[in-house]
Structure 1
Amino acid sequence: MSSITIVLADQYFKKDPQSSDLGRKIVNDGLTMLDELGFEEFTFKKLAESIDSTEASIYRYFKNKHKFLVYLSTYYWSWLEYVIEFETHHIEATSEKLDRVIDIICHSYELPKVLDLPGLSISKLRRVIDNESEKTYLNRQVDEINRKGLFMGYKELCGKISSIIQELKPDYQYPKALVSTIMEASHQQTFFAHHLPSLTELAVNSNRVLEEQSAEFIKHTVKSILEK
Structure 2
Amino acid sequence: MINLLQNFKIEVPKGIFIKDPETSELGKRIIKHSIELIDQLGFEQFNFKKLGADINSNESSIYRYFESKHHLLMYLTSWYWVWIEYQLVLETFALKAPKEKLEKAIEVLTRTTEQDSNFEHINEVLLNKIIIKENAKAYLTCDVDTENEEGFFMPFKRVVKRFAEVIQDYNGKYLFPLSLASSTVEGALHQHFFADHFKTLTNNTDATSVTQFYTNVIFNTLMHEE
**TM-score in same-fold range (> 0.5):** yes
> 1:133 aligns to what?
135
> 2:3 aligns to what?
none
Amino acid at match of 1:64: S
1:48–1:54 Cα contact (<8 Å) kept: yes
> 2:60 aligns to what?
56
How far did residue 110 of structure 1 move?
A: 7.0
CA distance in 1 between partners of 2:13 and 2:132 (Å): 24
Of 17, 20, 28 in structure 2, the residue corresponding to residue 16 of structure 1 is 20
TM-score w.r.t. structure 2 length? Answer: 0.92
1:193–1:200 Cα contact (<8 Å) kept: yes
Amino acid at match of 2:193: F
CA distance in 2 between partners of 1:201 and 1:165 (Å): 25
How far did residue 46 of structure 1 move?
A: 0.2
CA distance in 2 between partners of 1:29 and 1:91 (Å): 38
TM-score w.r.t. structure 1 length? Answer: 0.91
Instruction: Report the secondary structure of 2:127's partner residue.
Output: helix
How far did residue 118 of structure 1 move?
A: 3.7
Aligned positions of 1:64-83 closer than 5 A: 64-83=68-87
> 2:44 aligns to what?
40
Aligned positions of 1:143-222 closer than 5 A: 143-203=145-205, 209-210=206-207, 212-222=208-218
Amino acid at match of 2:131: I
1:120-159 deviation digits (Å, cap 9, x = unpaired)? 1110110000000010111222111111111111111111
> 1:26 aligns to what?
30
2:113–2:125 Cα contact (<8 Å) kept: no
Gaps of 5+ in 2: 1-6
1:198-225 deviation digits (Å, cap 9, x = unpaired)? 221112xxxxx33x01000010110111
> 1:206 aligns to what?
none
Distance 1:161 1:185, change over 3 A: same
Amino acid at match of 1:122: E
> 1:85 aligns to what?
89
CA RMSD of aligned residues (A): 1.7
Of 207, 223, 227 in structure 1, the residue corresponding to residue 223 of structure 2 is 227
2:111–2:210 Cα contact (<8 Å) kept: no
CA distance in 2 between partners of 1:142 and 1:8 (Å): 17
CA distance in 1 between partners of 2:99 and 2:113 (Å): 16
Instruction: Report the secondary structure of 1:227's partner residue.
Output: helix
How far did residue 20 of structure 1 move?
A: 0.3
CA distance in 1 between partners of 2:82 and 2:198 (Å): 29
Distance 1:109 1:152, change over 3 A: closer
CA distance in 2 between partners of 1:226 and 1:19 (Å): 45
Amino acid at match of 1:92: K
Gaps of 5+ in 1: 204-208
Amino acid at match of 2:122: L
Instruction: Report the secondary structure of 2:140's partner residue.
Output: coil
